[in-house]
Structure 1
Amino acid sequence: MSEGGAELRRLERRIRLRLDARTALDRALRSLPAIGQIVVAATLAYLLARGLLGHELPLVAVTVTIVSLGLARDTTPRRVAETVVGMNIGIAIAALLVQGIGRGAWQIAVILAVTLVIARLLSPSAPFAIAAGVQSMLVAVLPSPDGGVFARSLDGLIGGAVALLITALIPRFDLLRPRGEVAALYSLLDQAATGMHDALRLGDAAAAELALARSRRTQSLLDDWSRGLDSARAVAAVSPWLRRQRHRLAEESALQQVSDLVTRHVRALARRVEVVARDGVPRPLLAELLAQAAELLRLLARSSDDEAARYAARAVAAGLAARCAPTAVDGVADQVVVVLLRPLTFDVLVHLGTPPDDARALLPPL
């Protein structure tokens, strides 16, 4: 290997290490709200179990609290409650079986099997069953505390109550920060629409393929946005500190719903443009329409926080709708592109406050 090649490899390794370190640091920083919430909840559960019940080792109270809250950003009160119920069911089942069959290797197998079967009967959620199974094993393996085997059920109830209380009283405020998925989604949509414009303007099949590939990367961003938004709304519904955020979250939910529709339309357009552009023939009129659609997407991304962008988006959408006449272009393939633009403009107009009948009237007859 040449000296220059070795130096290049060393440089690549240093860059990779720096990127990995930066990613790890960012991951830790983003987890700080969840870590703080878990630390407070686990400590409170420990103190309550010791102070109220006199348990010297309230292991179950602490583990129920930690596992119920978790580190995931999309933790909701309902998900916490489901985990709490699953864990306490596992504790109760194991406590009953230990009383009847005792402890030992074959008893552990029976207790775990019975717990998992009952958990699966009660809920379709796999984490629910696993939470129940883990807690049942703690009861089955560890010696009974001073208060008897059912004392752990009380610990589990305390841990669950604390987890639910902390979810409402100390919410993870990172749920309310601007979601990176939104900016990333609209950046991809803009790139896809701009790529379709270039493909139609130049007759560039490669640009059309790239636009299609970009449009296909949007689904995971939409899913992440939806999960994060659902979590934020669920927590805001029970938290007294987030009452003022409910209106903003409702507006974001409306944007998320229209973004889902728009993304589907862009993917359909990208598939059709990729087929149309294969012949390498420039299509300036269709390119103008896609340029207008790209501008509409950029304005839509800012419409929730910028009133001027909202008005501008409505004007652009109305102008684009008026031009979506299939008869304006020749050939069935080109006309399909125009037809696919119509539902996109209609959905955006309705989202921006135009009555559906008025939005429909702006579209030329088919």
Structure 2
Amino acid sequence: MNAARDLPLRRLRLRYSDDSFIDRLWTIRRRWRLLLRLSLATSLAFFIATEVLDHEQAFFAPIAAIVALISGGGARVRTVIELVFGVAIGVLVGELLILGIGRGPWQMALVVALAVVVGTLVGLTGLALTQAATSSVLLTAVIPFAGTGNPAVTRFLDALVGGLVGLVMVLLIPRNPVRDIDREVQAFLRRLGSVLTLIASALREQDISQADRALARARGMQPLVDSMKETAHNVAEIARISPMRWRQRAHVQLYTATVIDLDNAVRDARVLARKTSALLRHHEQVPADMALAIDALAGAIGIFADDLSERDDFDEARGELVQAARMASLAMPEAVTMNSASVAAQVRSLAADLLYASGYTRDEIDDRLDFD
């Protein structure tokens, strides 16, 4: 019983032990822009709220700056709007009630509940609804100094100042969007290539265990896919709103346009691994040269990755992808089985996904992959 209870803790220790102290130092180094933005944004927001607007207890300003910087990847402008709108609802409901019922534990319970109800009725969700609740709590819990003006107005202005300062920091100290998305995509493509290499080895050696490992590895790529999608949304926003990164917009768009097709490619790789495992498990005839076709596909992925990084024209990658699909088609045995046909079909589908990612249209792909 104790062992079962301690299992999550052991997993937590294992996960953290995977990162050495040097790895964490490198993580801090990569986050220097975030650290700089957080430091400048919180201090500047607090300075504006206290020294320029003459607000006491201006804690909403630095808090709003932090929320805008950290919680809004991919939608920071919308985050700032939701933040300010949520705070407005919270302070409006809170201030109106506090004027009539005062402050205290039961008053806080009522204020928070009504703030969430009102926020829901006007259509707030997610971060905006959270800010409506938290701002009403702070308004109830913190007693303003005498003579500091209307608390609802000051809290609202503080949230507006903090949110805008956080957004300005993103504009003035933006991450390198090309480098960020390239790191994600290259890691994904390397893993995808390793899956295909393992599948080819399984066919060549007729080793079911390798096919099963390839399937497990392909299934384990979903976190990479999710991270890649999130990064794509984030860098697209940075390239769109930051003048310092406008010159990178075309390259960023090239990357972000590939994300959906790359997601489809890993789905095809999972099916390919599963059909390869089934083919070997049922002792079906292994198609001659099918392993070579899949190796060629893995090689084409490496070329595609280089072309994407260097903004090349993809001509070489496209040629290799078409050749891999052709090899798979020619490798089909005379006695076709369901699994052998599926293996060849998935090689073609995977090649087609990457051709889509390279900018080919559906008609162009059909024309290039028509081997009849």
**TM-score normalised by L of structure 1:** 0.86
User: For residues 26-175 of structure 1, what are the structure 2 equivalents within 5 Å?
Assistant: 26-70=26-70, 76-123=76-123, 125-145=125-145, 146-150=148-152, 151-171=154-174, 173-175=175-177
Q: Aligned partners of 1:136 and 1:234: how far apart in 2?
A: 31
Tell me the residue number matched to 1:4.
none
Deviations 1:317-343 (A, max 9, x none): 222233443893233221121122222
Matched, 1:252 2:258: no
Structure 1 contact 69–75 (Cα < 8 Å) conserved: no
Q: 2:244 aligns with which of 238, 241, 263?
A: 241
Equivalent position of 1:298 in the other structure: 302
Q: Which moved more, 1:108-117 or 1:80-89?
A: 80-89
Q: Which residue identity is paired with 2:319?
A: A
C-alpha separation in 1, matches of 2:235 and 2:311: 24
Letter in 2 for 1:301: A
Deviation at residue 25 of structure 1 after TM alignment: 2.3
Task: Note if contact 2:93-2:136 (Cα within 8 Å) is conserved in structure 1.
Answer: yes
Amino acid at match of 1:131: Q
**Within 5 A, what are the aligned runs for 1:289-328?**
289-306=293-310, 310-325=314-329, 328=332
Mapped to 1, the partners of 2:313 and 2:122 lie a distance apart of: 49
Question: Contact (CA 8 Å) 2:74, 2:230: kept in 1 or not?
Answer: yes
**Residue identity in the other structure for 1:185:** F
Tell me the residue number matched to 2:336: 331
- Aligned residues, how many? 351
What's 2:204 paired with?
201
Q: Deviations over 1:125-147 (max 9, x none)?
A: 43332222222111111112421
Deviations 1:174-220 (A, max 9, x none): 54424432222112111110111011111100110011011111111
> What CA deviation, in whole Å up to 9, does each residue of 1:273-326 have, x standing for no partner?
111121456543221221121112222222213467822211112222334438
**Residues 209, 331 of structure 1: alpha-carbon distance in 2 compared, 3 angstrom cutoff:** same
1:64–1:87 contact (8 Å) kept in structure 2: no
Partners in 1 of 2:359 and 2:170 — Cα distance? 35
State the one-letter code of the partner of 2:212. E
User: Are the aligned partners of 1:34 and 1:71 in contact in 2 as well (CA < 8 Å)?
Assistant: no
Amino acid across the alignment from 1:334: S
User: Counterpart of 1:144 in 2: which secondary structure?
Assistant: coil
- Which residue identity lines up with residue 149 of structure 1 in the other structure? P
- Cα distance in 1 for residues equivalent to 2:31 and 2:198: 36
Deviations 1:93-125 (A, max 9, x none): 222221232211211110111112233344564
CA RMSD of aligned residues (A): 2.7
Distance in 2 between the 1:239 and 1:350 partners? Answer: 29
Could you tell me which amino acid in structure 1 is paired with residue 41 of structure 2? A
Q: Give the Cα–Cα distance (whole angstroms) in 1 for the partners of residues 129 and 303 of structure 2.
A: 46
User: Corresponding residue for 1:22?
Assistant: 22
Contact 1:323 1:364 in 2 (8 A): no
Q: Equivalents in 1 of 2:159, 2:369: separation in Å?
A: 60
Q: State the partner residue of 1:230.
A: 233
CA distance in 1 between partners of 2:101 and 2:195 (Å):
64
Can you give the 5+ residue segments of structure 1 that lack an aligned partner in the other structure?
1-12
Question: Residues of 1 paired with 2:82 and 2:188: CA distance?
Answer: 31
Pair 1:73–1:351, CA change in 2 (3 A): closer
8 Å CA contact retained: 2:332, 2:340: no
| TM-score, normalisation: structure 2 | 0.84
Output the CA distance in 2 between the equivalents of 1:116 and 1:39: 31
Shift of 1:364: 4.1
Cα displacement (A) at 1:251: 0.8
Q: Any stretches of 5+ residues in structure 2 without a counterpart?
A: 1-12
Contact persistence 2:211–2:277 (CA under 8 A): yes
Q: Distance in 1 between matches of 2:130 and 2:49?
A: 24
- 1:186 and 2:189 aligned: yes
**1:215 is matched with which residue?**
218
